[in-house]
Amino acid sequence: MRARVIYNPTSGRELIKRNLVDILQTLEEAGYEASAFATTAEKDSAKNEARRAAATGFELIVAAGGDGTINQVVNGIAPLKQRPKMAIIPAGTTNDYARALKIPRDNVLKAAQVIKKKQTIFMDIGKANENYFINIGAGGYLTELTYEVPSQLKTVFGYLAYLAKGAEMLPRVKPIKMHLKYDEGEYTGEASMFFLGLTNSIGGFEQIAPNARLDDGKFSLIIVKTANLVEILHLIALMLNGGKHVNDNRVIYTQTSSLSAEPLDENVRMMINLDGEYGGDAPMEFANLKQHIEMFADVDRIPDEAVTGSTEEFIEASSAFVKEVESLTDEDIDGDGDISKSNQ
């Protein structure tokens, strides 16, 4: 089996670059013939390499870097009918996706070691028009914070940079008149933000979407109807106090497999945030692609309520698969290196 590491050489103060030899060695120990590709300043560098690697038969693609690198790799393979497995080695600012998958965020070599456990989850992926996202899709003035934090500040100060910029921006938040249609109904009116979450970890917090599951085919949808500064601060306090914001009448909170979003005033621009980056302007159609990509994770550390099946079932299935592969003999493999039909 072959694995391709697609890494951002500047992410996380060059952590991946400095530890690349050891990361490749870990993949070799996990049973993969491993190689690496350093992303460049060229547009869609990671996305294009992921698509090329998948097309040439790599069984595993490892996205090493921040959530932006992971997003690009997913965009490279998500449209394909035959998709390789994915793994991530986090080296960014908030590393929300790694947090949700219980992958170590403070040590890239420990993160790589997770692959050796051979535990995977079939993860939901979001689609927004023609783009894909792994963690959040959102619109409204509250979501524009991430565009205004310089990348240098993200690298040096991490999440503190977001908090500082957020405090600066809150007084400027104003509502947008929008129309939102989702599984259980529709909302027409003013809102400072709508938010779709695929995991329960957003921006370093695990209480924004407390009921999120990783593989149930549903987004967690939050609509914040108020733009009043005092009320937004109160909602943030409720969120930090055990996710109680979801029961507030200034918030709509539900689960949905799709969302149609558009501004009601054609003169008002509503930018869409996909995984912390600009993803186009509304109107936009969102769809949840259920269990679309098989992702390595530290499954036995993921709470049962975060997946549709129990984590024990995932572990048993992974272990059974590994034992089955290890038990194959030369007679079970045909001349093309595939499992013979009699043993499938």
Catalytic residues: 277
Strand partners of residue 95: none
| Three-state secondary structure call for residue 247 | helix
Half-sphere exposure (Cβ direction) of 127: Cα atoms closer than 13 Å:
16
Q: Kind and range of the H or E element at 118?
A: none
Q: Which two tokens stand for residue 149?
A: 């934090």
CA distance 14 to 173: 35
Rounded Cα distance between 140 and 195, Å, is: 9
Structure tokens at 148: 């205004």
Q: Which runs of consecutive H residues, i.e. helices, occur in 7-107?
A: 15-18, 20-29, 45-55, 67-77, 96-100
Q: Which of 205, 78, 88 is nearest to 136 (CA)?
A: 205
Under 8 Å between Cβ of 32 and 3: yes
